[in-house]
Every structure is written in structure tokens, then in C-alpha cells.
Amino acid sequence: GAGVSQSPSNKVTEKGKDVELRCDPISGHTALYWYRQSLGQGLEFLIYFQGNSAPDKSGLPSDRFSAERTGGSVSTLTIQRTQQEDSAVYLCASSFTGGGWETQYFGPGTRLLVL
């Protein structure tokens, strides 16, 4: 079956512009996660969705970051007024129910470069 897909695979933008990153999880997975992978910070957890609900948004780096999920499926991560420090690979993962023991399946990531 299809894995987690993300789009775009690469995005170059100018400082101050808004960007939208998309994640399509594995069909039937109710849990969806966003992570950021950067040279300086390693892999950081950003936000988790159970269905369409995100119980805790404190992992988002700043109020310029927001995320939503609709229909219990596709999720978008939006970064407003991008800054150079937002440059990173943004990874999405999904799992069946979100249980602590479950395997999370990762997408290929979106590589964001802010000039």
C-alpha cells in the first residue's frame, strides 16, 4: 500500500513569505505527527494530531507556525513570514492509533530553504 507522502519535496522561498507544506498519511492511520530535522537541532517533534484534533501545540517553534488536519486525513503545516532559521527538512509521520508502542511511518520530507 501507499506510504506517507509529502509535498512539495523541495521548496525555496524568500524571507518573509508564507509557505504551506502538505502531508498525506497512510490510509486508516488516525495519528499524525510533524517533525523538523535541521543540522543544529537534530530531529524535533513539532505537533501531533489524533483525528483532526491537536491536543498540544506547545512544540511549535513560534506563533508563525500553525498546522491543521481535515477529514482525519491530510494535514498542512503553515509557516508565516518565513525566516532563515526555518530552513530545515520537515517530516511527517503517521501511526495507527498513536499508542506509545506503535511504529511511526515517515514520509520523505519537504526540504525548505529560506533565502
Q: Which residues contact another protein by CB under 8 A? A: 31, 33, 35, 42-43, 45-46, 48, 50, 55-56, 59, 91, 93, 95, 97-101, 103-109
Residue with cell 515517515: 106
Count Cβ atoms below 10 Å from residue 12 Cβ, excluding itself.
12
The cell 514520509 sits on which residue?
Answer: 107
- Can you list the positions of beta strands (E) in the chain? 5-7, 10-13, 19-24, 31-38, 42-50, 65-69, 75-79, 88-95, 105-106, 110-114
Give yes or no for a contact between 11 and 88, defined as CB atoms under 8 angstroms apart.
Answer: no
Which CB, 55 or 71, lies closer to another protein? 55
Q: Which is nearer to another protein, 79 or 109 (CB)?
A: 109
Give 14 or 56: the residue with its C-beta nearer to another protein.
56
Shortest approach of another protein to residue 9 CB, angstroms? Answer: 11
Amino acid at 91: L
Residue number with CB closer to another protein (58 or 70): 58
CB of 106 to another protein, least distance (A): 4
> What is the closest distance, in whole angstroms, from the C-beta atom of residue 114 to another protein in the complex?
22
What minimum distance in Å lies between the beta carbon of 86 and another protein?
19
